[in-house]
Amino acid sequence: MLNPATEEVVATVPAASAADVDAAVVRATRAQTAWAALAPGDRARLLRRFAAVVDDHVEELAALEVREAGHVLGNARWEAGNVRDLLDYAAGGVERLTGRQIPVPGGLDVTLLEPLGVVGVIAPWNFPMPIAAWGTAPALAAGNAVLLKPAETTPLTALRLAELALDAGLPEHLFQVLPGHGPVAGDALVRHPGVAKIVFTGSTRVGKQVLARCADQVKRVTLELGGKSPNIVFADADLEAAATAAPMSFLDNSGQDCCARTRILVQRPVYDRFLDLLAPAIENVTVGDPAAPGTDMGPLISRPQLDRVRSYVTADMPGIRGKAPDGPGYWYPPTVLTGVDPGARVAVEEVFGPVAVVLPFEDEADAIRLANATEYGLSGSLWTRDVGRALRVSQAVRAGNLSVNSHSSVRYWTPFGGYRQSGIGRELGPDALAAFTETKNVFISTEGPAQ
């Protein structure tokens, strides 16, 4: 694996084979039985201890993330802290994972929430730590074992987290990391009959394959896939605030974010004014060494990803362009395109890089039409001072996570998931643990024996 900022080798990690996956499932199954038998309070204490150990190693984990993924240091620290916070949050739900009592004639009906068994988590390279934790923490809290397959380019933080779990006292083999290639280790994990659920985050193309293979076993699956999110700016909005926030709504993590607001929709009367405000905000974004203080944006993850982003933009396209370093590394400048046809490839496909388009709209209905003119439905923002409009448009836009007068819509204590081809399921928020359980229904008769 290479450092995307320098193209230097960071580490060499052996790739897991299908046989390695099979052996890991056997070990995880034994560990899960003992883990599920622990008193809920004991599981919660161990998870809180895991969170505390992660907290002690935030700087180490952040430094690993900078080297393997090219994330700026501030973001990498936040990501390590997010793992800690999510473990704490999930631990708080262990003793509250309760069933229901349902009134029925002739007896008492209760439901029990039982762990699924072994859960496979396939994490992406764009946010290796937090997205891995989004599946791992609630699955462990609910009494499951977890097999985590990180992306080929970013396995180091996952491997370190598994070591920290053992340091915290979690049982051996309960949380295992299987670095490897998707078509080998990932496919073996999806197909394995001993894996009860798959949590996959990645491209829609691969997500469809995962879904089909899970369907063959009627296996539970959660998919968090692509996005092409709108950022809708109405004429009555605080334009300065909207323009100031817009750059990092799609440049965070170098645009390698399925929630990136890459379609900026601006009401026509303020379109030119918005662009005037947006231009200096884009030009002032600092792109460079991700480990350096003050850097806003680092490199893309790899040469293939850089080539993909370049394929969407030609030099003659009008717009606003920032600056990026020359020399080694996978650098691409912040780019905002104007005058683009709404149906153009760059306007409807997920670029997964620091590229956005600005499109004008006429009125509320037109804004909703443009916002929904994509196969995706993951995230989005809208800017307006009209509360009624904010509610109407939020209900009309077909996306799972929306923010008003902000571009922040993802929090571990609230649900997260998409509509349409952006995914299936929600595993954050107050119902996260229940997503990793099976509901068992038990009827207890209170009638006497037949005479």
Catalytic residues: 224, 258
Cα angle: 305, vertex 423, 156; to 5 degrees: 45
Helix or strand (DSSP H, E) at 210: helix 204-216
Helix axis angle, 40-56 relative to 58-69, nearest 10°? 70
Would you say 398 and 380 are in contact if contact means Cβ atoms under 8 Å apart? Answer: no
Helix or strand (DSSP H, E) at 341: none
Q: According to DSSP H, which parts of 338-432 are helical?
A: 345-348, 364-371, 387-396
Amino acid at 264: I
Distances (CA, A) of 396 to 232, 366, 375: 13, 12, 15
Helix or strand (DSSP H, E) at 231: strand 230-233
The residue assigned the tokens 């730590």 is 129
Distances (CA, A) of 223 to 3, 271, 421: 28, 36, 9
SS3 110: strand
Q: Give residues with Cβ within 8 angstroms of 107, minimum separation 6.
A: 443, 444, 445, 446, 447
Spatial separation of the C-alpha atoms in residues 141 and 130, rounded to whole Å: 16
**Percent of the chain as helix, strand, coil, to the nearest 5:** 45, 20, 40
Spatial separation of the C-alpha atoms in residues 132 and 13, rounded to whole Å: 18
Q: Which of 122, 80, 98, 84 is nearest to 40 (CA)?
A: 98
Q: What is the DSSP letter of 427?
A: -
**How many other CB atoms are found less than 10 A from the CB of residue 17?**
15
CB burial of residue 242 (10 Å; 0-12, 13-18, 19+): buried
Gyration radius of the chain's alpha carbons = 23
